[in-house]
Amino acid sequence: MKKIISVILVATLLLSLASCLYIFPQTTKPLPPAETPQNRSTVKPIDPTWTPPTLEKGASLLPSIADVVAKVYPSVVAISTEVSTQSLFYGPQRQSGAGSGWIIDKDGIIVTNNHVVEKASKLTIELSDDRIFEVATSKVHRDPITDLAVIKIEASNLPAAELGDSSKLRVGDWVVAIGNPLGQGLRAKEGTISGLKVSLPVDVGQTLDDLIETSAAINPGNSGGPLVNMQGQVVGITSAKISGVGVEGMGYAISVKAALPIITQLISSGYVTRPYLGVTLATVTPYLATIYRLPVDKGAAIAYVAPNSPAEKAGLKSNDIIIRFQNKDVANTGDLLQALHNSKIGEEVTITFVRGNETRTAFVRLIESPPPSR
C-alpha cells in the first residue's frame, strides 16, 4: 500500500513540473534587434547642427493703465440730461439721463454722442474737478447721421485731451474706455481692439463706418466718452447705442479719423453740410402696397416735397415712389438715404420713380443741405 501511495505522489510531482514548463504560443511581434553601429547609420537627422533657442528672461511689461487714466481723466466730463415726455395717463413727465464727453479744446468745447443730448430740455456738465455748468440748448450742435455732437461751456484753460492717430491701431492693441457708466461717476475699463473699420447699421438710413470694435465694457452712460490708447491719446468716441445693436461682449467707438471732419464742421459752422434732395420719405412694404393698391411693393415713397428744392425743380411729386438711384435699386428709405449721403454736393443724379402705372426718370442736381431748424 505504501508503495502505491509513493508512486501516486511521484506522478503528481512530475505533472506539476510539466505544467510549469509549458511554453505559451507567441502572439506578439518579436522585439527589434538591439541597435548596433551598423544599423544606426541608416537614421537621417533633420539638422545635425541644430541647437535649442535660448530662454528669454522676461517679456516687456505693458504701460501702466493707471498712468493712462491719470493723464486723460481731467479731460473727461459727466453729462446729465433731462428729457420732457408726455404720458397718456400721467401727463407731462421728466426723465433723467446720463452720458459722457471729453474736452477737445481748452476754451470749453466738449465732444459727445448725438443721442446723449438730442432730446434734452436741460443739460448739465460736470468736470473732473467737480465744477458744474448748465448748458443752453443753443450751445449744443448735433449731427444725427454720424451720432456726434459738440457742446460749448463758458470756461477757459481746461485740460484738453490729446488726439491719437486711429489709423495706426492694430487688432490686439490695448485701449481704455473712460466714461460715466449708468450715471455713477467717471470709471475706466480696459480692453483690447478686436476689430477695425467695422460698419454697422444703427437706424433706418444710418450706417456708421470706420468703427473700432473693442472688448472694453461700454454701458449706458459711457456714450460720448473717450476710447484711449496706451499713450493716453483719444482714438475713438465710445457709443453704447452701437453696442446695443444685437451684439454681446463687444463695444464700439467712432474712430477719431472719421469723427474729426464732422467735429470740425460742427464747431466752425454749427452743422454738417451734405447733399440735399428736399423730400420726406416713407418705406413701401408689401403690406402697404396691398392696402393702398400701390403699383410696386418696395421702394421709397415721397410723402412731402420741399418748396424750391432740387426734387421740386426736377418734377418729383408727393406719392411718387423712388425705385432706383444712380442705377442702384432702392428697396426702402434707408437705401435712398445711404445713396444720397454717398453723393456729392453739385452732382447730377438719375432717379427712377413710379407715378401711377408709369415708370419715369428724373435728373436732379443736388445742392448743399440748409441749416437744421432748432
Q: Residue 166 has what DSSP assignment?
A: G
CA pair distance 171, 194, nearest whole angstrom:
5
Computed on alpha carbons and rounded to an integer, the radius of gyration of the chain in Å comes to: 37
Q: In b/e form, how buried is each residue of 99-125, taking b as 16+ CB within 10 angstroms?
A: bbbbbbbeebbbbbbbbbbeebeebeb
Written as nine digits, the cell of 172 is 490686439
- Positions annotated as catalytic residues are 115, 147, 223
Q: Residue 211 forms beta bridges with which residues?
A: 198, 254
CA pair distance 75, 67, nearest whole angstrom:
14
Cβ burial of 148 (10 Å; 0-12, 13-18, 19+) is buried
CA-CA-CA-CA torsion sign (66, 249, 143, 113)? negative
CA atoms within 13 A on the CB side of 283: 13
Cβ burial of 286 (10 Å; 0-12, 13-18, 19+) is exposed
CA pair distance 364, 277, nearest whole angstrom:
8
